[in-house]
Amino acid sequence: LILAILYILISIYITSLAYKTIINLPEISPTDYGLQYEEVEFQSTDNNELTLRGWWIPNESKNTIIYLHGIDSNRAGHTSEQTVPPGLEVLKHMYSMGYSIFTFDLRGHGVSDTAKVGLGVKEIADIKGAINYLESTKNVEKVALYGISYGAVLAILAGNKDDNIKGIFIDSPYNMITDLITGEIPRRTPIPGFVAGLLSQGIVWSSIWLEGINLNEIKPYESIKDLKYPVLMVHCKDDKRIPIYHSDQINENAPLDTLYHKFENCDGHGKAYETNKTYYLGFAKTYFHRIFQ
């Protein structure tokens, strides 16, 4: 009985820590890449009191790429300890392709209002809020979602929530969140991975009880079946944090004509762009031209 109580208490403790965001403020801006922009704010669709903040980078074309950053990152796609190029560097190239860019801080990240991590279940409302804002204030009618890691999964989960979403470019997604408990819990809590693994079922139960989120139901590899358009997906072949099998499984269920590229000689997480910028941007240019026709 004592062991059971201890199991439950530790599971609750881990879960409460795991849902806290680690805030990293943007340290660079579009100006650093020669881009003119507008500071904007809007509300998430599930909470009118939750204000999200971002950058609108207009172009001649209203076709817009919405950037979805990774966990604990921000609209600039950059943190001080990061070794890969900032997301803004990639977005500058996408701007040069002729598209408008919208990048914002997800709830609990950057300078958006404080909130717990929603694990994709709640951030769908953030993305819908962004699209509503673009439609109502910028006359945007067609968007594509571009997400890395956590942001890539958000793109999958939100990809069928608005008819104006014409495509998603996903970089290093995971197949289901429960597969990451052993690896990710130590990044967010002082708990070792092997302990998190032993407590995985308790963490699932605690998540339902504390946050109303069932981790077993967050399955990007299943959700991708709901998309009605081809997807562009890239992943480092030797990614240690989110191994390539995650994208392999997602690809098995991806829509017809999906483009899936595994980057060779690439052993970091989210390092496909850094490994071969020409290929990465070439794939993006071809894909966006195709979906925005």
How confident is the model over 203-261, as pLDDT tens digits?
888 999 988 999 899 999 999 999 999 999 999 999 988 999 999 999 999 999 999 99
Backbone angles phi, psi at 176, to 5 degrees: -155, 145
Q: What is the pLDDT of residues 46-55, one digit of tens each?
A: 988 999 999 9
165-171 vs 232-236, strand pairing mode:
parallel
Q: Would you call 256 exposed, middle or buried from its count of C-beta atoms within 10 A (0-12, 13-18, 19+)?
A: exposed
Residue-level pLDDT at 66:
98
Phi-psi domain of 77 (left: phi exceeds 0; alpha: psi -120 through 50; beta: other): left
185 exposure class (CB count in 10 Å sphere: 0-12, 13-18, 19+): buried
- Fold assignment, 50-184+218-291: Rossmann fold (3.40.50)
Q: Which phi and psi angles does 65 have, rounded to 5°? A: -100, 125
- Domain ranges (residues) in the chain: 50-184+218-291
Q: What are the φ/ψ torsions at residue 96 (nearest 5 degrees)?
A: -65, -20
Please check whether residue 184 is in contact with residue 106, taking contact to mean a CB–CB distance below 8 angstroms: no
Which of 156, 173, 174, 178 is CA-nearest to residue 165? 156
User: Angle of helix 181-188 relative to helix 2-18, nearest 10 degrees?
Assistant: 70
Quickly tell me which residue has 């809590």 as its tokens.
189
E strands within the chain? Answer: 38-44, 47-57, 64-68, 100-104, 143-148, 165-171, 232-236, 259-263
Smallest CA-to-CA distance from 106 within 58, 157, 174, 64 is with: 157
Show the low-confidence residues of the chain (pLDDT under 50): none
Helix (H, G, I), strand (E, B) or coil at 70: coil
Angle between helices 277-291 and 87-96 (to 10 degrees): 50
CA pair distance 67, 169, nearest whole angstrom: 10
